[in-house]
């Protein structure tokens, strides 16, 4: 049985998918369960292959990453009510991450309802110079794996 962690990559950018896939395959810890370039492919592969980790672009074509199912949670959608609050750009990645991790997920771990979390806090590296020069806005992601020995859903 393969003990490596399986990863499904879902992103509009084929270049990103290829680069990440190549990087993961150079290690002995990960195996690429599949690559999807739109939301419909991502949902089909997610259900078929049940990967350990999903790397997800929230702005996928055909079906956006936020609506990919009940197993996935985006911090901004947990903190803000998109029907009642006018949040054009969403919340601070750092702030939303802290609120949901400390206010919800750690509680779920302590209650034994979850036993593993891969928590990925993301954010934009905003720069007035980049914006003025019409350059793309780079992003950053810090992933933290948290586990417990209590019962719960893997």
121-150 pLDDT, tens per residue? Answer: 766 666 677 667 777 767 777 777 888 876
Residue, of 109 and 127, whose pLDDT is higher: 109
Measure Cα distances from 47 to 26, 113, 128, 151 in Å: 26, 21, 41, 23
Written as six digits, the tokens of 25 are 């395959």
- Fold (topology level) of 1-62: Rossmann fold (3.40.50)
- Mean pLDDT value across residues 48-71: 69
Written as six digits, the tokens of 48 are 């078929």
- Every domain range in the chain assigned CATH 3.40.50.2300: 1-62
Element (DSSP H or E) covering residue 131: helix 128-132
Q: What pLDDT is stored for residue 61 in this prediction?
A: 64
104 contact partners, CB below 8 Å, separation of at least 6: 78
Torsion over CA: 49, 121, 97, 139 (sign): negative
Q: What pLDDT is stored for residue 78 in this prediction?
A: 57
Q: What pLDDT is stored for residue 43 in this prediction?
A: 85
Residue pLDDT, tens place only, 69-100 = 555 555 555 556 667 766 555 555 666 677 77
pLDDT surpassing 90 at residue 110: no
């Amino acid at each position: 049985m393969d003990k490596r962690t399986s990863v499904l990559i879902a992103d509009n950018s084929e270049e990103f998918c290829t680069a990440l896939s190549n990087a993961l395959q150079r290690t002995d810890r990960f195996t690429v369960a599949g690559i999807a370039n739109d939301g419909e492919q991502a949902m089909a592969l997610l259900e078929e292959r049940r990967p350990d980790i999903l790397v997800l672009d929230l702005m996928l074509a055909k079906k956006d990453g936020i609506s990919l199912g009940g197993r996935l949670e985006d911090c901004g959608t947990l903190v803000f009510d998109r029907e009642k609050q006018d949040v054009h750009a969403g919340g601070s990645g750092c702030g939303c991450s802290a609120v949901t991790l400390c206010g919800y997920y750690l509680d779920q771990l302590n209650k034994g309802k979850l036993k593993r979390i891969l928590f990925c806090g993301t954010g934009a590296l905003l720069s007035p110079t980049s914006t003025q020069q019409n350059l793309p806005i780079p992003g950053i992601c810090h992933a933290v794996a948290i586990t417990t020995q209590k019962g719960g859903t893997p």
